[in-house]
Structure 1
Amino acid sequence: MDSNYHTINWKEIFLPKNIILNLTGVAFITLALKGFMIPNKFLDGGIIGISILVHEISKIPFSLLVLFLNLPFLFLGKHLLGKTFAIQSLFTFLLLALSMTFVEIDAVTSDKLLIALFGGCLIGIGMGLCIRSGSVADGVEILALLTTRKIGLNVSEVIFGMNTLLFLTAAWSFGISTALYSIVTYFAAIKSLDYVTDGLEQFTALNIISSKSELIKSLIVKKFGKGITIIKGERGYLPNNFEVKQDCDIIVTIVTRLELLRIKEAISTIDPNAFMFIQYIKEASGGVLRQKHKH
């Protein structure tokens, strides 16, 4: 295991950017919980959702629940992601518990749809900012990572399964209407979290197969300033002409989703019959990813 896992990088923990992101993230989560969700018994997924549910049933303070239910996951986080991550997440859990104890926010609205949408978006933004600071605000993501390694399901599938049980319990405790709105809250939170962590410029791999590959290569590189990779392949093998085949270049380029439509339209003007398919990727670095525009 990497030696960085066994040491604490205090410089990273106290980096002003990370501190600001963490504080802002906790502020968004607190606004979502106190201003929208808890007063109306709406749940999110994960440990925060479980804490709301237990709080409503047992009247144990939410701040204590969200802190102590998250603490066991710090040990998992330390082994899976290192001590620095565990310390940063501990600070996030403490900040969230303190803000939920001492910050007073009145309920913003009682409209269920507004609560589901705005509460979900705010908590998703807050969690995304915490992740960008190097921590998490909900330990269930760490548990999902461990479970993924043990049983082979991906993180999304594990989290979805856990939250399904949570929302079924919510339906039994608070009624089916609140449980259904809580599901809307959860999905709003997930989409907001994705936008914050991945950004509007999430990278996409665009693959192109065309008989006019040379023109398309020139278009992508010279007009759009993107890097390309060429994979040598064969095209043909059609059902009625299986024996007919020819060599071809498979053009691969990494673009953002904001660039994707423009590039596809430009390729279609060169070759309306070009075969294109896309693959969404979580992260890309190096190479020519963004073209700096000169003004």
Structure 2
Amino acid sequence: MKKLLLPHWIQDTIYVICGILFCGFALRSFLVPNSFFDGGVTGISLLVHELYHLNIAYVIIIANIPFIIMGAFQVNKTFAIRTFAAVIGLGLCLLYLPYPQITSDKLLVSIFGGVFMGIGVGLAIRGGCALDGIEVLALYTGKRISFTISEIILGINIIIFLIAAIKLGLPTSLYSILTYYTASKTISFVIEGLEEYTGVTIISGESETIKKQLVMTLGRGITVYKGERGYLKDSFDIHQPVDIIFTVVTRLEVRRLRNLIQDIDPKAFVFTSTIKEAAGGVLKKRARH
């Protein structure tokens, strides 16, 4: 029987709505009542809220508008429209939903405030928009200077936390750094999911046997590149053709694959690389949502 699949726009809408609710919960129930911060535009909004006592809902909307406009040019107009709608939705949640304050314990606030914020932002990204425009700014700036996007985001966040340390005290700034770290790790987890994939490249003189075992025993799809092996220092002119095998497995399957190759050819050259996102082919991917 075929699985019942929702249209993409319905799935995206559900992701975004859930993301808005989680972000609102993180802000109203953890961060705002305890004067904690996050990184990015959200961190700037929280800082402005604390310093000037402006309503956080209005500050977040206004602070994101320049980045939404920038996103229309850097990404596309659909992304900008979705992001604008999501930010307005977040503002309305902050204004009208009666989120309770959960705790005043600083460690719990910094960790779980970051977790719920990361879940919210990650779900919004999966829905095709952004609840924090800092990456749009980094993308825009990165095209004009030699720094990477990660370095730009890090630099902006360092400035935010330095201002927080000066104005509101070092302990608050340090706890807020923990919040940001927790949120960033949670965002990666939500976007990439449990089954982070690993690409494995195998070069071996027993390539035919290895290919058969990968497909028939592990049930993995393979791609074969034609190459040459040899070219050693003492026998540089001696080389022979070889099939270079590439396959994709989950992290839990890496050890089993290595053991299988070790049994066939202990001298095989094997190296792995992390794959952030994989779909299609014959991947046995478990549904995450």
Same fold (TM over 0.5): yes
Which of the residues 263, 270, 276 maps onto 1:282? Answer: 276
Describe how 1:34-73 pairs up with structure 2 within 5 A.
34-73=28-67
**Residue identity opposite 1:125 in structure 2:** I
**Residue identity opposite 2:176 in structure 1:** S
SS in 1 for 2:186: helix
CA RMSD of aligned residues (A): 2.2
Partner of 1:243: 236
| Counterparts in 2 of 1:84 and 1:116: CA distance versus 1, 3 Å | same
Deviation at 1:245, TM superposition (A): 4.9
Describe how 1:109-258 pairs up with structure 2 within 5 A.
109-237=103-231, 241=234, 243=236, 245-247=238-240, 248-258=242-252
Deviation at 1:139, TM superposition (A): 0.8
Deviation at 1:127, TM superposition (A): 0.5
Number of residue pairs matched by the alignment: 279
Deviation at 1:120, TM superposition (A): 1.0
Deviation at 1:238, TM superposition (A): 5.1
Structure 2, gaps ≥5 residues long: 1-6
Deviation at 1:74, TM superposition (A): 1.4
SS in 2 for 1:150: coil
| Counterparts in 2 of 1:149 and 1:109: CA distance versus 1, 3 Å | same
Deviation at 1:123, TM superposition (A): 0.6
Partner of 2:10: 16
Partner of 1:31: 25
Cα distance in structure 2, aligned partners of 1:291 and 1:38: 39
Q: After the TM superposition, which of the residue ranges 98-107 and 124-133 deviates more from structure 2?
A: 98-107
Cα distance in structure 1, aligned partners of 2:266 and 2:168: 54
Q: After the TM superposition, which of the residue ranges 112-121 and 61-70 deviates more from structure 2?
A: 112-121
Normalised by the length of structure 2, the TM-score is 0.88
SS in 1 for 2:174: helix
Normalised by the length of structure 1, the TM-score is 0.86
